[in-house]
A and B are shown apart, each in its own frame.
Chain A
Amino acid sequence: KAGVTQTPRYLIKTRGQQVTLSCSPISGHRSVSWYQQTPGQGLQFLFEYFSETQRNKGNFPGRFSGRQFSNSRSEMNVSTLELGDSALYLCASRIGASSHGYTFGSGTRLTVV
């Protein structure tokens, strides 16, 4: 059974550019969440999607957006990149109820220069 797949694994972008990260959840998982991990702030919740609808959003500026497709694949987009956006972005999927826990992907390491 394939795990959560995130692409690309590594990305280097310049300040002011925009970036799109992709996440393919485990087959059958309809909920996809995104987290930002930085040494200073730890793991911070970005947003969660279920059946193509955003169900919850963390405390991030509007430059951070996401979407989910009918096949449950998800993308997140960051516009007008800042140096502080450099982080490991983790995608996680689960079947439904919170007690099942997430299955995480290996993440996309974004470096903004």
Chain B
Amino acid sequence: GDSVTQMEGPVTLSEEAFLTINCTYTATGYPSLFWYVQYPGEGLQLLLKATKADDKGSNKGFEATYRKETTSFHLEKGSVQVSDSAVYFCALSKVPTGNQFYFGTGTSLTVIP
């Protein structure tokens, strides 16, 4: 079945360090791929998305490229800030099979000054 595998956490980085959070997926057809972020005590916020192969999603300095050949959608940021501390979820969704999202297990990121 469809699924998302995400890098285990937690991840701790110093401010201005480079961030990579790995995400790979298994799906038939042509899923759309997403990264969501969850701050403490909050719901999920859409960070970025890509709807077809080779698309690059970007937002707030974060980027991820939809790689069909490696079934990956790794999240990257060149210089993290303390305010980036949160839990990051990779997800996929497909049409027309029910429209549900399949989420990864989440990766907790802590950025220290």
Could you tell me which A residues sit within 8 Å of B by CB distance? 4, 6, 31, 33, 35, 42-43, 45, 48, 55-56, 58, 90, 92, 97-99, 101-107
Chain A residues closer than 8 Å to B103, beta-carbon distance: 35, 42-43
Contact across chains for B43 and A90 when beta carbons are under 8 A apart = yes
Contact across chains for B43 and A98 when beta carbons are under 8 A apart = no
Q: A31-B99, A42-B103, A56-B99 are in contact. Are A99 and B43 (CB under 8 A)?
A: no
CB-based nearest A residue for B52: A99
The A/B interface has a contact count, at CB < 8 Å, of: 63
Shortest distance from the beta carbon of A98 to any chain B beta carbon, whole Å: 4
Interface residues on B, range: 20 to 34
In the complex, A67 Cα to B89 Cα: how many Å? 27
Chain A residues closer than 8 Å to B95, beta-carbon distance: 97-99
Given contacts A42-B103, A56-B100, 16 further A-B contacts (CB under 8 A): A4-B43, A43-B89, A45-B102, A48-B100, A56-B98, A56-B99, A58-B100, A90-B44, A97-B95, A98-B32, A98-B94, A99-B95, A101-B32, A102-B44, A102-B46, A105-B43
Contact across chains for A102 and B105 when beta carbons are under 8 A apart = no
Q: A43-B89, A98-B93 are in contact. Are A103 and B46 (CB under 8 A)?
A: yes
Chain A residues closer than 8 Å to B22, beta-carbon distance: none
Chain A residues closer than 8 Å to B100, beta-carbon distance: 33, 45, 48, 56, 58
Chain B residues closer than 8 Å to A92, beta-carbon distance: 43-44
Q: A42-B105, A43-B89 are in contact. Are A98 and B44 (CB under 8 A)?
A: no
CB-based nearest B residue for A45: B100
CB-based nearest A residue for B30: A99
